[in-house]
Amino acid sequence: MIDQFINFVIRPPRAEYNPDQYLWEKDFTLAGRAYKRQDLEASMDTNCQCVTLRNARGHALRCSHYMPSPFPEDSPLPCVIYCHGNSGCRADANEAAVILLPSNITVFTLDFSGSGLSDGDYVSLGWHERDDLKVVVSYLRSNKQISRVGLWGRSMGAVTCLLYGAEDPSIAGMVLDSAFSNLYDLMMELVDVYKIRLPKFTIKMAVQYMRRVIEKKAKFDIMDLNCLQVASKTFIPALFGHAKDDKFIQSHHSDVIYNSYAGDKNVIYFDGDHNSSRPQFYYDSVSIFFYNVLHPPQVSSVTCKPEKYYDLGDLKVGAGMDEGLLYEIITGVHSVGTDAASSSSALPIISTTKSVDELLSDIAPVATDSVLDETNAFSGHESLQVQDQPDCQNEECCSYTSSNRESWGRCSSLGGSDEESSADCAAADSGHQKTLKVFATPLRSTTQQKSGPTKEEKKKAPTVPKKPKSEKLEKLEALSRRLRLCILKRVNHRRHRSS
């Protein structure tokens, strides 16, 4: 039992992973911009020598740096260093990259010594990890392309940020997710969580024994891991976060640290437990916090004027295309579909912040259903079906953006298979192909007639004068043809190598 607790502290399950499979690709696209992942163990310095960071104990640290591609030469960008938990790895920073890169904030992540693919046999829950963090900060300070530096830590990583922040006041800001106040109190609480029925004096004797063993193996004293001692001496702006139902590190740990913290501070509580995915409003708060403390430059990724910029998502528009006209066409189609639809259907309001992909997804079923219903009223058909021809046989037909990876779990949940990812991609692209086909196919070709009457029946049947089409239907067809000529021949779906 005691050995299990010792391993629980200094040798938790170690994340084993393939960087090319569980990290973002070395070249990827996010929100319409190109980015790259630079692994330090594979990068070259100005002297064409391999760059590898090593801590004071000589352990090589495996690191990755997410940045725009190409990197802007005229203005340096800030960087946030993501610090993972005790069983984590640098794949935990995938979420941070998605959140911060669109704001022109680069993301640096590493496997701490004793974790992931880095050297070392033991973790120290923040004690030695702060030395690893010091090496990374020094490396970034020497890079003229990096301006301000921020820290984002979770669990053990949050403690690491606190311990290092007390020594380096030049850090611009810190996000501290689920930090513990001191290790001794945490260990005593876990005795109750795991319902170990032993007398208190026996437990205290066991903890003292563990203290000597840990100090001998991992070279640190568990009694020194006290964040309250450094919180009162730290003035870096900090955003605290903690899950309300966290049973592993209970939320009162963040309470006591927050109350004794000397710098500008704020705290956010949210639903979930220690390892659950964080809610979107928390990530939004993190993004706003880092934007305010890091002051990233306003580097535009488009050539058009800001007031006429429209988010075109993954649609590849040629140089001669007027993006404003394109958006007006789609908005017109949506408005016509709204007029033609029944009064009982609730339609979303069009927003200039939506991408063309989202607009197509919104207006395709509404416009098509309403027009087909009106066509049925004139032609007398009973059922209509839209032909769907999925064409996602290979990897190059699916656009690779942040929507393909909606959430990234901790390293303990990195066991997703490539087959599952390919299946999700195929399903997503199949739906997109269906949306485009609604506009690419003339309306009369989307109707499927039942077995029609014979020639003799046609002769006998009285001729009924055709009713003229309504103005709404004609307007929608005109807009649809206009949209088809402008866009659909220019759409080119590409996907980078799948991870």
Tell me the C-alpha distance between 262 and 234, whole Å.
Answer: 6
Strands of the sheet with 173-177, listed across from one edge: 27-30, 33-39, 63-68, 106-110, 77-83, 146-154, 173-177, 238-243, 265-270
Report CA torsion sign: 427, 410, 115, 24: positive
Tell me the C-alpha distance between 159 and 185, whole Å.
Answer: 14
Q: Which residues pair with 106 in a beta bridge?
A: 79
Angle formed by the axes of helices 200-218 and 2-10, nearest 10°: 50
Q: Which residues pair with 83 in a beta bridge?
A: 153
For domain 1-297, say whether CATH 3.40.50.1820 is its number. Answer: yes
Q: What pLDDT is attached to residue 204? A: 87
Q: Strand pairing of 33-39 and 63-68?
A: antiparallel
Tokens of 192: 């109750």
Burial of 28 (0-12, 13-18, 19+ CB in 10 A): buried
Q: What pLDDT is attached to residue 181? A: 97
Q: What is the reported pTM?
A: 0.63
Q: What pLDDT is attached to residue 349? A: 38
Instruction: Identify whether the C-beta of residue 371 lies closer than 8 Å to the C-beta of residue 476.
Output: yes
Task: Give a three-class secondary structure readout of the chain.
Answer: CHHHHHHHHHCCCCCCCCHHHHCCCCEEEECCEEEEEEEHHHCECCCCCECCEECCCCCEECEEEEEECCCCCCCCEEEEEEECCCCCCHHHHHHHHHHHHHHCCEEEEECCCCCCCCCCCCCCCCCCHHHHHHHHHHHHHCCCCEEEEEEEEECHHHHHHHHHHCCCCCCCEEEEECCCCEHHHHHHHHHHHCCCCCCHHHHHHHHHHHHHHHHHHHCCCHHHCECHHHHCCCCCCEEEEEECCCCCCCCHHHHHHHHHCCCCEEEEEECCCCCCCCCHHHHHHHHHHHHHHHCCCCCCCCCCCHHHCCCCCCCCCCCCCCHHHHHHHHHHHHHHHHHHCCCCCCCCCCCCCCCHHHHHHHHHHHHHHHHHHHHHHHHCCCCCCCCCCCCCCCHHHCCCCHHHCCCCCCHHHCCCCHHHHHHHHHHHHHHHHHHHHHHHCCHHHHCCCCCCCCHHHHHHCCCCCCCCCCHHHHHHHHHHHHHHHHHHCCCCCCCCCCC
Please give the distance of CA 270 from its chain centroid, rounded to a whole number. 18
For each of the chain's 499 residues, which pLDDT tens digit applies?
Answer: 788 889 989 999 999 999 999 999 999 999 899 999 999 976 555 555 567 899 999 999 999 999 999 999 889 999 999 999 999 999 999 999 999 999 999 999 999 999 999 999 999 999 999 999 999 999 999 999 999 999 999 999 999 999 999 999 999 999 999 999 999 999 989 888 777 777 888 888 999 999 999 999 999 999 999 999 999 999 999 999 999 999 999 999 999 999 999 999 999 999 999 999 999 999 999 999 999 999 999 865 443 333 333 343 443 333 344 444 444 544 554 444 444 333 333 333 334 444 444 544 554 444 444 444 444 444 444 443 434 444 443 433 333 333 333 334 334 333 344 444 444 444 444 444 444 343 333 333 334 444 455 545 544 555 555 545 566 666 677 666 666 665 544 444 433 333 3
Q: What pLDDT is attached to residue 203? A: 86
In sequence order, the 6+-apart residues with CB closer than 8 A to the CB of 450 are 381, 382
Report CA torsion sign: 361, 362, 365, 367: negative
Q: What pLDDT is attached to residue 186? A: 94
Query: Where exactly are the structural domains of the chain?
Result: 1-297
Residue 290: C-alpha distances to residues 98, 99, 151, 171, 223 (Å): 14, 10, 9, 12, 32
Q: What pLDDT is attached to residue 10? A: 95
Q: What pLDDT is attached to residue 137? A: 98
